[in-house]
Amino acid sequence: MQSIKFLQEFEVHTDYLKHFALRLTKDKNQAQDLFQETALKAFRHQNKYLPGTNIKAWLGTIMKNSFINLYRKKKKRNEIQDNTNEHFFLNTPKETISNEGEMSVTMQELFKIIDSLNDDYRIPFLMAYQGYSYEEIQKATGNLPMGTVKSRIFHARKMLKDRIQRVFPSAAA
């Protein structure tokens, strides 16, 4: 297809593409960028367009795929935008200041309290704490019903909370 004819067909669908870009991005500036990206790709690959086929669908597919690719790039980069006027965290000093208020509960004391639980509750709780899935915990505990596994983990947490509050009343929050 000749470039002039392709340009004419492209121009017929510019309004559609701009509205489609705005619908995808929900932001005027990003929609304009997406439209330009689509136009660039369309003209770069115009030799792949087959005359007589639906150019509107072809352009829409290019735009949709471009949008998906840009979304994936942004997600991969994990861009964090600070839209606040406060730049407190940006201007904080590099050194850290130690906090004088230390927690009165140590990990050793917590593990003593955990060890005081009955094995029926302690084992599923510790496995969940270590990151095992419910299915893995179910298999390790002799194929208990899934509801029983979840219930034991819930009740273990509740018992631990009560025991910690009894032993360390100041830790209740």
Is residue 146 scored above 60 in pLDDT?
yes
121 pLDDT above the threshold of 70 = yes
Q: Is the pLDDT of residue 82 over 60?
A: no
* pTM of the predicted model as reported, rounded to 2 decimal places: 0.45
Instruction: Tell me what pLDDT residue 79 has.
Output: 53
CA 11 to CA 39: how far, in whole Å? 10
Q: Give 2-54 pLDDT, tens digit per residue.
A: 778 888 888 999 999 999 999 999 999 999 999 999 999 999 998 888 888 89
3-state helix, strand, coil in the chain (%, to 5): 70, 0, 30
Average pLDDT score over the chain: 83
Give the mean pLDDT of 52-73: 90
Q: How far apart are CA 122 and CA 128, in angstroms?
A: 10
pLDDT of residue 99: 54
**Domains of the chain with CATH codes:** 3-77 (1.10.1740.10), 107-171 (1.10.10.10)
Confidence of residue 101 (pLDDT cuts 50, 70, 90): very low
3-class secondary structure, 173: coil
